[in-house]
Amino acid sequence: MTKTTAAITAVSGWVPPDILSNKDLEKMVDTTDEWIQSRTGIKERRILKGEGLATSDLGAEAVKLLCKKRGISPEEIELLICSTATPDMMFPATANIISDKVGAKNAFSFDIMAACSGFIYALTTGSKYIESGQYKKVVIVGADKMSSIIDYTDRATCVLFGDGAGAVLLEPNNEGYGVLDSILRSDGAGRVFLHQKAGGSAKPASHKTIDAREHFVFQDGQPVFKFAVTNMADVSAEIMEKNKLRAEDVSWLVPHQANKRIIDATARRMGLSMDKVMLNIERYGNTTNGTIPLCLWEWENKLHKRDNIILAAFGGGFTWGAVWVKWAYGK
Ligand code: ACO
């Protein structure tokens, strides 16, 4: 009997309309458009504005579009996994809230937290539910309202992040398409370099934590950069070697969009030219869990059935990994 794999059968994305440009940031902190572009590749990012609007609203828009594109009712979704670093609340899971907002009444749902690697962790997890044969329609949503945890007086972090969401639908396939392999890694010792200091059980919210601005992203950029360059490049090369994929066999690299210099290093290590690399960091910045599905959504028309695609990410934790996908539709 042919093995059942989890094929991506639809992809969608959603970014809010409000733009925060490098020029806007020049008026807010001591920075320049030139510094931001040369160090990161970012020109502008999207910000979700509106009282009470949250990560689940970004995710819900992406899921509604996904269902419309595939021509299915949200009631057909059996499992919805949301990867996010900015949940609407500490609990319940943002996935539960998205399911409610889109009317996915028959889905069970939960969140995955792996910072910027969350989408590939969730994709790998979701694919196992399909491979088991128990579920036929699994939605993976990557969504973050990063602007809710960014200190817009800290020039080292506020230039990097934006808001956005993307989603994919997984369905069973018996012809060898879909999520074919993944290598996922984590190292909690890296937490000291990238974290949110307060608001969890270690340091619950208090007047003191608010005064100390400890509910925002803290990042020691240089060590994170070094670990990201090495690990994202190594794991991408490793998944190619493990599956005997040569550079010419790979149609696309879909890298997490944290910094263009990290992406360049990964592509070089894989032996890929930059025309095979999906890159939209200049328009959206780092949307954390949104980056990879947003790329797939924007490049969907260029993808062909049988394309070998490598997804790669690195993020807080540290967490990192790579996934090999054989694209299941298109000419
Ligand atoms: N504008 C102008 N100057 C700045 C800015 C800014 N926005 N930010 C920092 N600087 C200054 C610093 O103060 C420093 O000045 P100094 O030399 O006088 O002390 C100088 O620029 C260099 O700072 P570095 O931090 O060394 O700059 P670097 O070249 O490392 O770039 C960056 C910083 C872009 C953050 C980089 O380190 C990076 O990309 N790190 C990795 C990010 C990443 O991959 N994160 C993981 C995913 S995110 C997640 O998981 C949530």
Nearby residues of 176 by Cβ (< 8 Å), 6 or more positions away: 2, 3, 5, 326
- Type of residue numbered 326: K
Ligand 1 geometric centre to CA of 221 (Å)? 5
Ligand 1 geometric centre to CA of 41 (Å)? 12
Q: What is 5-178's CATH number, 3.40.47.10, 3.30.930.10, 3.30.230.10, 3.40.50.300? A: 3.40.47.10
The answer, yes or no, to whether residue 1 has pLDDT greater than 70, is no
pTM for the model: 0.96
Please report, for the chain, the start and end positions of each structural domain, with discontinuous segments joined by +.
5-178, 180-326
Instruction: Measure Cα distances from 99 to 50, 51, 165, 245 in Å.
Output: 21, 21, 15, 37
Three-state SS string over 10-27 comes to EEEEECCCEEEEHHHHHC
Ligand 1 geometric centre to CA of 163 (Å)? 19
Q: What is 180-326's CATH number, 3.10.580.10, 3.40.47.10, 3.40.1360.10, 3.40.50.2300? A: 3.40.47.10
**Interval 194-228: pLDDT, tens:** 999 999 999 999 999 999 999 999 999 999 999 99
- Type of residue numbered 274: M
**Interval 131-173: pLDDT, tens:** 999 999 999 999 999 999 999 999 999 999 999 999 999 999 9
**DSSP characters for 252-299?**
EEEE--S-HHHHHHHHHHHT--GGGB---HHHH-B-GGGHHHHHHHHH
Instruction: Measure Cα distances from 71 to 32, 74, 297 in Å.
Output: 45, 10, 17
Nearby residues of 197 by Cβ (< 8 Å), 6 or more positions away: 203, 209, 212, 214, 215, 218
Ligand 1 pocket by Cβ (under 6 Å): 31, 35-36, 39-40, 85, 115-116, 155-156, 159, 194, 221-222, 224-225, 228, 258-259, 262, 286, 288, 314-316
